[in-house]
Amino acid sequence: MKKLIFILLLRIFFNAGNIFAQEIKADITVNMDQLPFELRTNVSTMESDLERYINNNSFMHQEWEGEQIPVDINIFLSGGNRNIYEAKIFISSYRFLDGPNEEPGRTVTIKLFDTEWTFEYSLGANLSYNELRFDPFTSLIDFYMLLVIGFDLDTYGKLGGTKAFEKAKTIFQLGASAKARGYSTYTKQGEFNRFNLVNELNDLLYENLRTIIYKYYILGLDLMAFEKEKALKNIVDILSEMVEFKKNKMTGPSVLMQAFFDTKAQELGIIFNGYSNQDVFTYLMYLDPGNTIIYNDARDGKLK
């Protein structure tokens, strides 16, 4: 809890200044295995270009207090004819946890995977941030970095990521206006894509779910190192609250809930491995039936 208070104090302190700090510390890996050797030259600097672009940018154009968000980005390239590439991108962001040690633990905040990305790229690309202009390459990066920032801020303050999610929605709308790949607004509810995710994150209905997830961090994970039994009980109550939200508020599948459990299923299984209160496993299997195997193993104390 001391670390959390310290971070909040830092945020208050820096708000008095006029410092625009970078929010993200990204580690980029670009996989070119599917590209012919003769088509790899133009993207040979992509890793360094993109790390420089992300790590030197202030995506929110405002003060950022505390530690930068660690983010791993893996890009898998294909295509390459006439400098036009297709890519799959996998993003994992992390959050440091409150604890008594100088070296804090950390948890994965969100995992995101996108296969609908087409762009033009040249050697030594001069990447620039312009949230009002759509670019097939940088705008997708901007979109996801703003989501990463929003998810992170949502874990420290109730609905703290709202502004970041609003900015991400603006970028999505630019992509939709440009009729760019992956920015279609024609989709089914529950289909995991950019439109549904950013829509739910900006929907008043899902503010309740975002608040429940916030409690998971503040009353659960951050408390774990100090009062483990209380933290576990809190998480059981939080999952019960999530069950009520799903039963009484949701009209169909939720991509936000799916993203949470895709990220947290293994973590929750380990937290409750062999836990005596069987209700928690009933909650988890109802909320996240796709990971029933994990929760069954946790109930039987088989996870390590």
Q: Is pLDDT at 21 greater than 90 in this prediction?
A: no
Q: Tell me the average pLDDT across 100-110.
A: 85
pLDDT digits (tens, 9 = 90+) for 190-229: 999 999 999 999 999 999 999 999 999 999 999 999 999 9
pTM over 0.75? The answer is yes
Q: Tell me the average pLDDT across 9-20.
A: 46
Quick one: pLDDT at residue 18?
Answer: 39
In three-state secondary structure terms, 180 is: coil
pLDDT digits (tens, 9 = 90+) for 269-302: 999 999 999 999 999 999 999 999 999 999 999 9
Tell me the CB-side half-sphere exposure of residue 33, using CA atoms within 13 A: 6
Distance CA 122, CA 124 (A): 6
Domain boundaries, the chain: 2-202, 217-299
Q: Is pLDDT at 88 greater than 70 in this prediction?
A: yes
- pLDDT greater at residue 61 or residue 109: 109
Distance between start and end Cα atoms, the chain = 27
